[in-house]
């Protein structure tokens, strides 16, 4: 997915299209993140103005949801399901192996990749499940993760 560099003007254009929706804060933040990949701190004031709510309201929503992020995303995101069904088929071990292979730890991204734990992709009969960028991987293994990050889908 190609992301657009953050700009106030582009952000305001997006906000103008949705600030009149009922209960707009979350969908505004989601729309900004879909466009720019993250929500910079500056955006809080713009969203508050557009939605006619306080900055505290926007900050509260922004910091509540796991999906919303305030930093620039790395090139690749690897999300490994570590909920029960995937635990039962070795997702904890997969996380450890991925951390070693990509030289990073959970929640501490380097420039190239970010490994995050996730809780269920609804692929619980074909676990461990992982999502690399927007591609869901069933029966995930380190080999499959490496192939997906390198864009080699035939693995």
Partner 1 sequence: MSAITVFVPKDSAARSVGADRVAIAIAHEATKYGIDLTLVRNGSRGALWLEPLVEVATDRGRTAYGPVRVEDVPSLFSADFHLGGKHPLSLGLTDEITWLARQDRVTFARVGIVDPLSLADYEAHGGLAGLRRALSMAREEIISEVIDSGLRGRGGAGFPAGIKWRTVLQTTGDHKYICCNADEGDSGTFADRMLIEGDPFTLLEGMTIAAIAVGAVEGVIYVRSEYPDAIETLRQAIDIAREQGWLGKSVLGSLHVFDIRIRVGAGSYVCGEETAMLESIEGKRGVVRSKPPLPAICGLFGQPTVINNVLTLASVPAILAGGAVAYQARGVGRSTGTQVFQLAGNIARGGIVETRFGVTLDTLINDFGAGALTRRPVRAVQIGGPLGAYFSTSLFDLSMDYESLLAAGGMLGHGGVVVFDESVDMAVQAKFAMEFCALESCGKCTPCRLGSTRGAETIEKIINGLDLEGNKKLLLDLCEVMTDGSLCAMGGLTPLPVRSAMLHFAEDFGSRTGAAR
Please say which residue, 61 or 72, places its beta carbon nearer to partner 1: 61
- Alpha-carbon distance of 62 to 70, in angstroms, equals 8
Of 54, 119, 150, 152, the residue at the interface with partner 1 (CB under 8 A) is 119
- Alpha-carbon distance of 22 to 51, in angstroms, equals 10
Residue 154 in the binding site for partner 1 (CB under 8 A)? yes
Of 10, 12, 72, 85, the residue at the interface with partner 1 (CB under 8 A) is 85
Q: Is residue 64 classed exposed, middle or buried when 0-12, 13-18 and 19+ CB atoms within 10 A define those classes? A: exposed
For the CB of residue 103, give the shortest distance to partner 1 in the complex, in Å: 25
Contact 104, 114 (CB under 8 A): yes
Of 22, 52, 108, 111, the residue at the interface with partner 1 (CB under 8 A) is 22
Binding range to partner 1, per CB under 8 A, among 3-11, 70-78, 103-111, 122-130:
122-130
CA 34 to chain centre: 10
Strand order in the sheet with 76-81: 113-118, 76-81, 130-132, 135-137
For the CB of residue 38, give the shortest distance to partner 1 in the complex, in Å: 14
For the CB of residue 12, give the shortest distance to partner 1 in the complex, in Å: 18
């Amino acid at each position: 997915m190609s992301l657009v560099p953050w700009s106030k003007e582009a952000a305001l254009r997006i906000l103008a299209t949705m600030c009149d929706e009922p209960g707009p804060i979350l969908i505004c933040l989601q729309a900004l993140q879909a466009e720019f990949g993250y929500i910079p701190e500056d955006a809080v004031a713009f969203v508050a103005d557009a939605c006619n709510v306080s900055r505290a309201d926007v900050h509260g929503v922004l910091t509540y949801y796991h999906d919303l992020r305030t930093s620039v995303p790395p090139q690749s995101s690897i999300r490994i399901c570590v909920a029960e069904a995937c635990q039962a088929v070795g997702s904890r071990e997969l996380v450890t192996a991925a951390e070693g292979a990509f030289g990073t730890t959970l929640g501490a991204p380097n420039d190239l990749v970010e490994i995050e734990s996730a809780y269920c992709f609804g692929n619980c009969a074909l676990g461990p499940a992982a999502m690399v960028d927007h591609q869901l991987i069933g029966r995930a293994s380190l080999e499959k993760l490496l192939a997906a990050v390198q864009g080699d889908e035939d693995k």
